[in-house]
Amino acid sequence: MKEIDSAKQIQVLEDRSDQVWTKGSGKAFVCDKKSSAGSVTQRACAFCGSRVVLYPIADALHIVHGPIGCAVYNWDIRGSLSSGSQLNRNSFSTDLAEKEVIFGGEKKLEASLIELIEYYSPKAAFVYSTCIVGLIGDDVEAICKKVTKKTGIECIPVDSPGFKGTKKTGYQAACEAAYRLVGTGDTSSIGKYSVNLMGEFNIAGEAWMIRKYFERMGVEVVATITGDGRVDDLRRCHGAALNLVQCSGSMTHLAKLLKDEHGIPMERVSFFGFEDTARALYATAEHFGDPELMRKAEEVVAEEISKFAPQLKKYRKQLKGKKAALYVGGAFKAFSLVLALRALGMKTVLAGTQTGSAEDYEQLQEICDPGTVIVDDSNPLELAKFVLEKEVDLFIGGVKERPIAYKLGVAFCDHNHERKIPLAGFEGMLHFADEVARSALSPIWKFAPRHEMRALNLNNVKS
């Protein structure tokens, strides 16, 4: 074991010590490492990563080739909404059992695909390979080609078994699967001011809010990848003039493929908080270099901020001085959350991500306050100890972090894909402020005081 902060006595596994960093410490920071054995990482498996990216493509068939537990694990975990087809809400699985593990599951996969395609008539089908498929060696690619030829519906393998030994992440597998559709649609009707929203998953209808901003500016949104996604939109997304990448972890690989093969430039943006949303609209207008487009962008920003900014003042007054911890999947969320919390008068004392890159963490270090702890690929015990030692008032994370906060008697705000409240855009910032205030200022915490939890002897808790 190795001490990270002798004054606070916070300990982590020794081989993870360089993945925990305090701003102002002067030490080096390391990321992009495999999870340490025994750390019980908060990361999910490669299959989970691929499925949550592709799942919002609403008119496609999604079938999990593996044991039923894999399909159940992440079924319907996104709050992604669809404006039409709900086919993606079904959780289909080949339900591989002992017989298929021994003799192979290719015949079962083929029969399942043909039956489902005949019944549902999807626009396309995504077939997810899980760990067991990687171990028994089913040729999913060959089955997909065979069924495509039989049915005329394109079946796309998603190569995402976690135990296969490749360096490919679930996000990369999803991007490569989606890219198989790109370039097969007609782009003749797409205007010169056009964008793809990438890494936007339409949680609680956020993509619809963002689309309206661009419509008011005079910018066409060709495809939202993948929130409220459609197969035909993916087929023609190569006709857009610009890719706006929000969730960089999940979509940078696809954006690079579009740039290399189709010459589409990319901009990293965020639509969370006033500051980042305005910056995203301005960056888009600036890219196209049309003064009229910039004028309209400024008009949209001014109208929206004047509508919602006055209402934020009361929340800032209530929340000023409160301390927050955040642990999210993609780093883009962390950047925006730090700025949004600062706008509410709160200080971020702990910031961590599951999949941040060196570039992401460098940016996160710049915007955080001195003394902020930054952690990569953390685990429940580490997070619990940091939350206690930093005397956090609010913990922001996802479904796996919620129990940590509640067990410690700390308020929690869901910023992951399970939530049902839109937090993006100008209106979303007001929703965020309201949720933060209701959580952090709730009288319930009088009945679960943290000072009782502080009785824990952290020096005797081993990671």
Would you state the structure tokens that stand for residue 430, as one six-digit string? 């007001």
Report percent pLDDT > 90 for the chain: 64
Average pLDDT over residues 79-87: 91
| pLDDT confidence of residue 330 | 72
What is the SS3 string spanning the chain? CEEEECCCCEEECHHHHHHEEECCCCCCCCCCCCCCCCCCCCCCCHHHHHHHHHCCECCEEEEEECCHHHHHHCCCCCCECCCCCCHHHCCEECCCCHHHHHHCCHHHHHHHHHHHHHHHCCCEEEEEECHHHHHHCCCHHHHHHHHHHHHCCCEEEECCCCCCCCCCCHHHHHHHHHHCCCCCCCCCCCCCCEEEEEEECCECCHHHHHHHHHHHHCCEEEEEEECCECHHHHHHHHHCCEEEECCHHHHHHHHHHHHHHHCCCEEECCCECHHHHHHHHHHHHHHHCCHHHHHHHHHHHHHHHHHHHHHHHHHHHHHCCCEEEEEECCHHHHHHHHHHHHHCCCEEEEEEECCCCHHHHHHHHHHCCCCCEEEECCCHHHHHHHHHHCCCCEEEECCCCHHHHHHCCCEEEECCCCCCCCCCHHHHHHHHHHHHHHHHCCHHHHHCCHHHHCCCCHHHCCC
Is pLDDT of 77 > 70? no
The reported pLDDT for the residue numbered 10 is: 55
| The predicted structure's pLDDT at residue 379 | 87
Residue 40 CB contacts under 8 Å (≥ 6 apart), including other chains: 379, 380, 381
Which pLDDT belongs to residue 5? 43
Band (44; pLDDT cuts 50, 70, 90): confident
What fold is seen in the domain 46-179?
Rossmann fold (3.40.50)
Pair 70, 43: CB distance under 8 Å? no
Count of CB atoms situated within 10 Å of the CB of 353: 27
Peptide bond into 151 cis (omega under 30): no
User: CA nearest 319: which of 260, 372, 394?
Assistant: 394
Per-residue pLDDT reduced to its tens digit, 152-174: 999 999 999 876 555 578 889 99
> 46-179: same fold as 2-30+309-460?
yes
Of the listed ranges 36-40, 119-123, 232-236, 357-361, the least confidently predicted one is 36-40
| Percent residues over pLDDT 70 in the chain | 91
What is d(CA 128, CA 52) in angstroms, rounded to the nearest whole number? 11
Lowest mean pLDDT among 69-78, 111-120, 154-163, 192-201: 69-78
Residue 359, both tokens: 């570039």
pLDDT of residue 38: 65
31: pLDDT strictly greater than 90: no
Given pLDDT bands bounded at 50, 70 and 90, which one contains residue 119? very high
User: Which residue, 7, 120, 147, is CA-closest to 61?
Assistant: 120
User: Confidence class of residue 46 from pLDDT cuts 50, 70 and 90?
Assistant: confident
Mean pLDDT of the chain: 88
Beta bridge pairs of residue 376: 353
- Where are the domains positioned within the chain? 2-30+309-460, 46-179, 194-302
Q: Kindly state the average pLDDT of the residues 23-27.
A: 74
Confidence check: pLDDT of 462 > 90: no
Q: For 86, how many CA atoms within 13 A lie in the half-sphere containing its CB?
A: 4
- pLDDT for 39 equals 67
pLDDT of residue 7: 36
Identify the CATH homologous superfamily for domain 194-302.
Nitrogenase molybdenum iron protein domain (3.40.50.1980)
CATH of domain 2-30+309-460: 3.40.50.1980
Mean pLDDT of 23-47: 74
The whole-number average pLDDT for the span 203-215 is: 96
The whole-angstrom separation of Cα 88 and Cα 59 is 7
The Cα 347–Cα 125 span in angstroms is 45
pLDDT category of residue 13 using cuts at 50, 70 and 90: low
Cα–Cα distance between 281 and 242 in angstroms, integer? Answer: 13
Between these two residues, 385 and 143, which has the higher pLDDT value?
143
Edge-first strand listing for the sheet containing 92-93: 92-93, 60-65, 124-129, 155-158
With both helix axes pointing from N to C terminus, report the angle between 331-343 and 425-440 in degrees, rounded to the nearest 10. Answer: 70
pLDDT in tens, 90-112: 889 999 999 999 999 999 999 99
pLDDT tier, 184 (very low <50, low <70, confident <90, very high otherwise): very high
Question: Tell me: the pLDDT tens digits for 329-340?
Answer: 777 778 889 999
